[in-house]
């Protein structure tokens, strides 16, 4: 799958998961800024909510700790989330099986 298609799929998924409402096309930079804005809101609700969300999204704790003290932490966290979404899409594609291709050992 071409990189643009992967990026479009990631954008669509993040818009849906994070409730980002925006009409028309959305550039990667614009998406990251909207995502950073949502992260700020979540962080203001409390650290427990924020860290539970990061755990659920499978954001590595080491990477999260590296960016938490930065002045632009919400933007860097948004980038981690975006990159994780891209990674999930690529992983799904890599391990996706053709529905017409069935392992003969698994046939009933």
Q: Is residue 99 part of a domain?
A: no
Buried-state track 29-67, b at ≥16 Cβ within 10 A, e below 16: eebbebbbebbeebbeeeeeebeebbeeeebeeebbeeb
Q: Is residue 97 part of a domain?
A: no
Q: What's residue 99's pLDDT?
A: 60
pLDDT along the chain (108 residues), means of 10: 78 85 80 94 91 92 93 95 93 76 64
Q: Read off the pTM.
A: 0.81
Q: What's residue 106's pLDDT?
A: 64
Count: domains in the chain: 1
Cα–Cα nearest to 79, from 42, 38, 29: 29
Q: What's residue 87's pLDDT?
A: 93
Range of the domain at 69: 3-91
Q: What's residue 108's pLDDT?
A: 60
Q: Is residue 10 part of a domain?
A: yes
């Amino acid at each position: 799958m071409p990189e643009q298609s992967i990026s479009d799929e990631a954008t669509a998924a993040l818009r849906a998961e994070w409730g980002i409402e925006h009409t028309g096309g959305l550039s990667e930079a614009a998406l990251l800024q909207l995502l950073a804005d949502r992260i700020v809101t979540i962080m203001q609700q409390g650290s427990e909510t924020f860290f539970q969300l990061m755990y659920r999204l499978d954001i590595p704790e080491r990477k999260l700790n590296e960016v938490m003290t930065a002045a632009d932490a919400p933007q860097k966290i948004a980038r981690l989330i975006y990159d994780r979404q891209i990674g999930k899409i690529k992983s799904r594609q890599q391990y996706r099986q053709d529905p017409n291709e069935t392992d003969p050992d698994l046939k009933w």
